[in-house]
Amino acid sequence: MSDTQGNATLASTIFATLRDEILSGALRPDTKINLRGLCERFGVAFSPVREALNRLSSQNLVRQTDRRGFKVSPVSLDELSDITRARCLVNEAALRTSIAEGGGAWEEEIVLAFHRLMRTPRDDASPGDSHWTLAHRRFHQSLLGACGSDWLLAYCDHLFDAAERYRLIGLSAGGNWGDADEEHRAIMQAAIDRRADEAVRLLCAHFEKTKAQLRLLLARDD
């Protein structure tokens, strides 16, 4: 393996680790990132660390504070509203296309993903990497899986991550989404019944409800 390939592999590992820590809240918003500390932690030189941080910056998870410094991106009510609005727009396009184009295999995948989600216990002790979090992601991905656009799916995944960061911060602040199971069930049923308008309405309402709960939590902590 060449040095370039080795650095790329190291950068990917560091990127994935820091991304999970930011999304889960283990690395708190506005936290200054110590590059030398990361080099020591991962046993690497500066190059793969900076590459990983640049990739995180492209996903708006970290921000460059000067020529050499980075910090974890802050959170705000305005950004939460922007994320939610974008999720509604992009997911609507993907969901409507999936409902129009998806076949039996797409329906089966949604039902399977839903039942896996229902059977998976929530693990609030480690929400960022819990089995429930992964099952939740997979359910939302399954709804959009027949849209036929890798770009559209990538945008939806990116927005899911952005919203998930807020959800996990809200969870750590005492938030509770106990009735989300019925919301997921209703979205699933509308999608596989090909009721596109209702499925989109329910999905966007699901996003908006989460936003409203998080706004209360974030405002309370201000």
* One domain for residues 64 and 117: no
Structure tokens at 113: 């993903």
- Residue 190 belongs to domain with CATH number: 1.20.120.530
179 and 114 in a common domain: yes
Confidence (pLDDT) at 122? 76
Question: 62 and 82 in one domain?
Answer: no
Residues 36 and 63 placed together within one structural domain of the fold: yes
Residue 180 is predicted with a pLDDT of 86
Question: What CATH number corresponds to the domain at position 20?
Answer: 1.10.10.10
Indicate if 200 and 122 belong to the same structural domain. Answer: yes
pLDDT of the residue at 175:
59
Q: What is the C-alpha separation between 121 and 113, in angstroms, rounded?
A: 14
* pLDDT of amino acid 221: 56
The CB density around residue 76, as the number of other CB atoms within 10 Å, is: 13
Domain limit, last residue, from 22, 54, 72 = 72
Last residue within a domain, chosen from 25, 56, 72: 72
Residue 79 has what pLDDT?
A: 92
Of 37, 52, 72, the one marking the end of a domain is 72
pLDDT of residue 174: 61
Residue partners of 5: CB distance under 8 A and separation at least 6: none
Q: Are residues 111 and 14 in the same domain?
A: no
Are 41 and 151 members of one domain?
A: no
Q: Are residues 53 and 140 in the same domain?
A: no
Distance CA 217, CA 146 (A): 35
Residues 84 and 182 in one domain: yes
Tens digit of pLDDT per residue, the chain (222 long)?
A: 444 555 678 999 999 999 888 888 889 899 999 999 999 999 999 999 999 999 999 888 999 887 668 999 998 889 999 999 999 999 999 999 999 999 999 999 999 999 999 999 876 544 455 788 889 999 999 999 999 999 999 999 999 989 988 888 777 666 565 678 999 999 999 999 999 999 999 999 999 988 888 777 766 655
Task: State whether 112 and 163 are in the same domain.
Answer: yes
Measure the CA–CA gap between 94 and 108, rounded to whole angstroms.
18
Q: Identify whether residues 159 and 202 lie together within a single domain.
A: yes
How many domains is the chain built from?
Answer: 2
Residue 23 is part of which domain span?
3-72
Residues 193 and 137 in one domain: yes
